Structure 1
Amino acid sequence: MAKGSVGVKSALAVALVVVVVLALTNVWNPFPSIWDRINRSQPLSDPDVVWQQRVGGSPKSVTIAGNAVVLEYRTRVEARSLATGIRLWERKADWAAVAGGDRDPVVAVGKLLVKGYELLDPESGAVRRRDNRAIGVWTYRNALLDVRCGDPRECTLTAWDPRGNAPLWTAFLPGVRAGLFADNPEVLGSRRLTTERVQEEAGGPEMMPPLLGFPVDHRVHIVDTATGRTVHETQPGEQDRIVVVGGRMLRIEARSADGTCYFTLIARDPANGQEVWRREGINLRTADGGGCVQREDPQGGQNVVVGVAADARETVLDAYDGRLLWVGARGEKLLAVDDRYALSRSADKQRVAGREHAIEAARWTRPVNPDGGAALTPYAAVIVDRKPDRIIALDPRSGRELALLRSSAEVFAVGPTGMVIGDGRDIGFYRFAGVPAAPPAGPGPGNPDADPGDGTACGGPKQEACPPDGGKDG
């Protein structure tokens, strides 16, 4: 028995030495797979995701770009297949941002302190266009803007179709507030309402607004994004803040008196400077403290802004015409808002309601725990609940359930067919119920940009310009 035991031990020792030698010579290395089995992660959700992959670090941002998922890290960017999670390509880069819609996305990548950028195909990683002069890039669903400066006070803003090779227009700016190098530098608009466990950019790039406000040397330069013309230039007062939302220039005046701040909101048409509407007494939460110094842009989404009325009820205003689109009940809390919908939590913190602007009755309601939150994307309303942890995706108009997951993961990205969730280094894709694998041609959760037939999807004073006949270049 002793001799047999010694023989077995000797054979195992020899086998171990052979395995070590093979691993050191890169012939065969079983140790990573063994460690992966030992350290295998638990499923991200129940029901399980379509695929789950462990990535090389915690991503800074995750975006669904057509049939790919683009992950931005501190010093690199990679793309993975939306269908399988398999890595498609990887590049060294200090920043990355996705432009384009569901059918024509591109990935802009660049390096800090280096001029220029490259536009990559999300699925292949191939370079579609290269620039070596730009110092700033803004990415939208229907366009990409870049800016290049011959000197600090002589800059050119250029608009591109996401997959186009010829500029749509160029505009002069006497400088920009952008470093070398950055994606999506500050413009004067509205801030999204956010919630924990849903990334702020989860819905991907937004449509380019009809007007953009660029802060330059304490002045605001307003550019018409349909033509590239600078339509207005102004300087705010010391206690004022100017933002550009919904095709209007909004001047927020804050005056300190009686230990509080008094607000006046004035909307002007930048083309002629004429006042269009004004409202008194609505606090857009741009100031903090009794000094009424305004340090923040107002919260909102696309063509709407969010405020608090004098009776402490939250409100949603149409920035174009000043209408009150929604006024909450006492104690009701607005959780998310965009051009079409608003999500609010009841005063007793027991339910979330989905509403369509200018329609008084709620479209749908859903129970939620007091610690739960919600977010709106172009494809789904997302509710993240606590105790127990759940992720719920709903059609924002009807409340139809697209997903109900028992999960404590974070929602990284939401697309037309599903969402990417993650926890630490693990990410996975969950496909929505009842949504086709490819975005449908008509309007709905799978294709929010389609024209519903009433002419509101493009054109007009509040919408982006309609694309020319024949579709986009590329």
Structure 2
Amino acid sequence: MASGGSAKGYALVGVVVIIVLATTGVWNPFPKIWSWINQSDPIAEGVASWQTAIGGSPRSVTITGGAVVVEYRTSIEAYGITAGVQLWKSDADWAGVAGGATDAVVVVGRLLTKGYEVLDPATGAVRRRDTQATAVWTYADAVLDLRCPKAGECELSAWEPRGSTPMWTIGTPGIGFVLDAANPDLPDTRPLSSERIDARAAGPRPLPNLLGLPGDGKIEVIDTAQGRVVQTRTPGRDQRVAVVGSRVLTVTGEARDGTCYYSVIAHDPPNGRPVWARDALNLRTADNGSSCKQEHDPAGGDEVVLGVDPVGRPELIAAHDGRMLWRGDKGQAVLAVDDRYALIRTEDKRTLVGRSFGRGKVAWRRAVTPTVQAALTPYAAVLAEQKPAKVIALSPGTGGVLAEARTDAKVFAVGPGGLILVSGRDMAYLPFGASPAR
């Protein structure tokens, strides 16, 4: 017992000595101790080119212009894509990224405050300021902003990402409320989502031919090439209107006999004539049930919409002309789709099929686990597997492996050279060509 008491006494004396040395500045081991305790585990050990601690849980991450732009709730940060070194930081409540490799910009603003700033992604320098806009949409080739000086009187302007004067400005009557912040929702297609791959991982998409601007119970359909309103649609109580590619889709859901009967009609503005129509086509605009209350945009990607026929078979349809691009069997599931490809899981949930719309046939097949998640981006098809947890980037056209890592991290962004993984407060870059040692 005495020896035990002596040991405790020596330990107490040692702690007191260390505290005295630390407080007098002679020697302070605590920072190194805490650094060791807080040291993060590797996100993708052996394959990530870099890993860095970030300022919190991100709302979005975008790879653009040689930088990785990270959006938080109240700030924006940018990191270099080569080594993950922080380039700059800015206080902002919202952000959007526009442009491509040579003309990328970051648009930032404050909630409840009119205006925005256009920043250089590499330096954070302000390239342009606006003091009146209330909402901004960012695309791969344009920035759109909306200003409403009076209720019901608004203007929509389109800018080149690094432009100093608008490409066009139009009046948009009938906006009964003010859209705000970055990329407020518009009536278009709703991308398929998954937990392990962020819905915005593909980055900004090109400005579509038509946009629908909602307000006051109406939808103003805008030709983005000419900068003019080409049609005004007023949906009925049992209707949902979505602007998809170069068509305006009107989905009608009628409650009858304890179920919901759907029909879809596509119009071509500005003449307003119907181009195609389909009865008994469910575009997943309503939740399950017989109320037929349509609260969602059609599921799909870009100009392709995902439907279900009356017997439960999934269908992929070209919004432009109503062509059926693919019809599956009950039990098959479309995990991701865009204008070029679809990723389809087979009925037994053991195989993922990459289908090419351009070739009109299956481009590749890959064995997967039943819980696989998937997304399509311009640069890669991304898969997130569980048990074992891993992330795989594939060529959308061939199914060839671009990168692979054993990790349970979430994929937040995909760029031309690789993808960004985030786990907790750590971010890592997985370049294409990286794969774990066998």
| TM superposition score normalised by structure 1 | 0.86
Aligned counterparts of 1:177 and 1:350: Cα–Cα separation in 2: 49
1:418 CA displacement: 0.3
Inter-CA distance 341–157: structure 2 relative to 1 (3 Å threshold): same
The alignment partner of 1:79 has SS state of strand
Cα distance in 2 for partners of 1:252, 1:105 equals 36
Match of 1:456 in 2: none
CA distance in 2, matches of 1:272, 1:180: 28
Contact in 2 for aligned 1:326/1:358 (Cα 8 Å): no
Q: Report the AA paired with residue 20 of structure 1.
A: T
Partner amino acid for 1:190?
T
Structure 1: distance between partners of 2:304 and 2:179? 32
Question: Residues 45 and 220 from structure 1, CA distance in 2 versus in 1: closer, same or farther, beyond 3 angstroms?
Answer: same
- Structure 2 distance, partners of 1:357, 1:66, is 30
- Structure 2 residue identity aligned to 1:98: V
Q: Identify the residue that residue 127 of structure 1 maps to in structure 2.
A: 126
1:163-178 residue pairs with structure 2 within 5 A? 163-174=162-173, 176=175
Residue equivalent to 1:40: 39
Partner residue in 2 for 1:280: 279
Q: In the superposition, relative to structure 1, how do residues 22 and 165 fare at CA in structure 2: closer, same or farther (>3 Å)?
A: farther
Question: Cα distance, 1:308 vs. partner?
Answer: 0.4
Q: Residue in 1 aligned with 2:66? A: 67
SS for the counterpart of 1:325 is strand
Structure 2 counterpart SS, 1:294: coil
Distance 1:180 1:284, change over 3 A: closer
Shift in Å, 1:77: 0.7
Shift of 1:56: 1.9
The 1:229/1:21 distance shift into structure 2, 3 A limit, reads farther
The C-alpha deviation readout for 1:414-461, integer Å capped at 9, x for no partner, is 000000001110110011019xxxxxxxxxxxxxxxxxxxxxxxxxxx
Q: What residue in structure 1 maps to residue 301 of structure 2?
A: 301
Moved more, 304-313 or 11-20: 11-20
How far is 1:227 from its partner?
A: 1.1
For residues 377 and 246 of structure 2, the distance between their equivalents in structure 1, rounded to whole angstroms, comes to 21
Alignment of 1:26-425 (within 5 A): 31-174=30-173, 176=175, 179=178, 181-288=180-287, 289-357=289-357, 359-425=359-425
Counterpart CA distance in 2 for 1:171 and 1:356 is 38
Q: Within 2, Cα distance between the matches of 1:96 and 1:282? A: 37
SS for the counterpart of 2:20 is: helix
1:94-146 per-residue CA deviation (whole Å, 9 max, x = no partner) reads 11111111222110111100000001001100001010110000000110000
Deviation at 1:19, TM superposition (A): 3.6
Task: Provide the C-alpha distance between the structure 2 equivalents of 1:285 and 1:162, rounded to a whole number of angstroms.
Answer: 34
Deviations 1:236-281 (A, max 9, x none): 1111111100101111111122221111111111110111111111
* SS of residue matched to 2:430: strand
Q: CA offsets, 1:160-216, max 9 Å, x none?
A: 000111100011112547657411112110100111200000111111110001111
Does the 8 A contact of 1:178 with 1:185 survive in 2? no
Distance in 1 (alpha carbons) for counterparts of 2:237 and 2:358: 35
Q: Distance in 2 between matches of 1:386 and 1:12?
A: 45
Q: Give how far 1:39 is off.
A: 2.0
TM-superposed deviation, 1:152: 1.5
* Structure 2 CA distance for aligned equivalents of residues 98 and 274 of structure 1: 36
* SS at structure 1 position matched to 2:339: coil
CA distance, structure 2, for counterparts of residue 37 and residue 250 of structure 1: 57
Mapped to 1, the partners of 2:388 and 2:14 lie a distance apart of 52
**What CA distance in whole angstroms lies between the structure 2 residues aligned with 1:375 and 1:38?**
36
What letter is aligned with 2:40? Answer: S
Cα deviation for residue 17 of structure 1 reads: 3.5
Q: In structure 1, what is the Cα distance between the partners aligned to 2:147 and 2:376?
A: 34
Residues in 1 aligned to 2:305 and 2:315: alpha-carbon distance in whole angstroms: 8
Q: Which runs of 5+ in 2 are unaligned?
A: 1-8
State the TM-score, normalizing by the size of structure 2.
0.92
Change in Cα spacing, 1:361 to 1:181, as seen in structure 2 (3 Å) is closer
